[in-house]
Amino acid sequence: MIRHISDDLADVAVVQNMGDWFFFHERGDRVMPFATVVTSDHGDGISAPLAREGAYRVSIGLTKPGYTALFGAPPRDRDARGVLDTGFDPGTEDRVVPHPHYASQYWVCVLNPGRPTTATVRELLVEAHAHATRKAERRARRNAGLTSDNGKS
């Protein structure tokens, strides 16, 4: 999955930290990735399945229409640990579900994607990357307009 994101999608900047991978658009602001691959348990209430060897979670930031087409309106209610009530178990393997922390921002995730979900995950990654590309292009146009001084900048 990491190779697919970094090699098959254009203009991807990859940041690795403590065994986790963060994927940004190369020309983006690198504040929010469009996808992550998390391989370690950070004690966040959802990562217990990651404690075993080889486990990983792919998380993908979608557009609002992309998210709502899959799951309807995003959840807003959180438990005492900050986990959203998505109605799905984030520990279920090989199933795309709303992200337990970021579904309200239109994120989805899948634990250990396998044959049943790989094609869907790749399609969602392409969608997320396209959205990140559009945002980077808008930002570049906006910045070009701000830095342009009649060709004297």
Q: Answer for the pair 130, 32: CB distance below 8 angstroms, yes or no.
A: no
pLDDT in tens, 123-135: 999 999 999 999 9
- Ordered by start, the domain boundaries in the chain are 2-142
Query: Which CATH architecture is the domain 2-142 placed in?
Result: Alpha-Beta Complex (3.90)
When pLDDT is cut at 50, 70 and 90, the band that residue 153 belongs to is very low
Average pLDDT over residues 51-73: 94
What span, in angstroms and rounded, lies between the C-alpha atoms of 65 and 82?
Answer: 24
Q: Which amino acid is at 89?
A: D
Average pLDDT over residues 90-98: 93
pLDDT on residue 43: 63
pTM for the model stands at: 0.88
